[in-house]
Amino acid sequence: MTDKEQQRPAALVTGAATRLGLAFATALADRGCDIALHYHHSSEQAQQQAELIRRRGVRCETFPFDLADDDPGCLVEQVYHCFPRLQVLINSASAYHAGTIADTDRALLQKQFSVNFFAPYLLSGSFAKQVTRGSIINILDNKIAFQQYQYGAYLMSKKALAEFTKLAAMEFSPRIRVNGIAPGVVLPGETRTGDYIDWRIQGIPLQRQGRVEDLTRAMNYLLDSEFVTGQILFVDGGEGMNHRGLNAEDYESGDKVE
């Protein structure tokens, strides 16, 4: 191993075989970070993407792990053993299921919280024990600004993670900075139609869909800005603040807020 390789920082990205996790892992590789690529079911994709990341001139190793059922602290120990210069943790893995509070059973609630809250909580604690100095970024959802009970368990797990972001920032300072990114309409699920996206855009002040690059730029900002901790950066075109509430003037003018 060359001196340059020994000096490269490393990053653990959960859920990094696909979608946003992969985008963050790739952007970190472009920053010169070695990558610990976590995945659960996407084994073939993980191996393919790891090879593409290696072509960027960094080391990339894959780590299969079930964040819902296994102890997340063990994952950090495995990564740290492989990458002693671990400095970054991106909690990107997520479980997303719709369901009102009334329709949520114990199994759904447990699944949402195990992946979306318990895993980042435990990963962060283990990371703080192993790493001298570093940065944690929790990937949230701009839905934390809303009260969308149609996603009750999912939304509560992300709201809990948002509060944890601030709490962990206090505990881990000054060694480790902890921040969050709350994406809006950037990379919708494959089942979302074009009509649905157009409808969502109507509620976004900037009147457009975001790009993955908007999120990786946000990540780079949080990694580079060493005087920022405990913050949640909404990357959603202003959608999260676009709630005027019902009022008499709108009612009388016929401009009904739905």
Which of residues 12 and 256 earns the better pLDDT score?
12
Q: State the average pLDDT over residues 111-121.
A: 97
In this predicted structure, the answer to whether residue 256 has a pLDDT above a threshold of 60 is no
Asked if residue 207 lies in contact with residue 15, where contact means CB atoms within 8 angstroms, the answer is no
Q: State the average pLDDT over residues 95-103.
A: 95
For 9-32, the pLDDT digits (tens) are 999 999 999 999 999 999 999 999
- CATH assignment of 3-253, given 3.40.50.720, 3.20.10.10, 3.30.750.24, 1.10.10.10? 3.40.50.720
Give the model's pLDDT for residue 251.
66
Residue-range domain boundaries for the chain? 3-253
Model confidence pTM above 0.95: no
Give the model's pLDDT for residue 258.
44
For 124-140, the pLDDT digits (tens) are 999 999 999 999 999 99
State the burial class of residue 120 (Cβ atoms within 10 Å of its Cβ: 0-12, 13-18, 19+).
Answer: buried
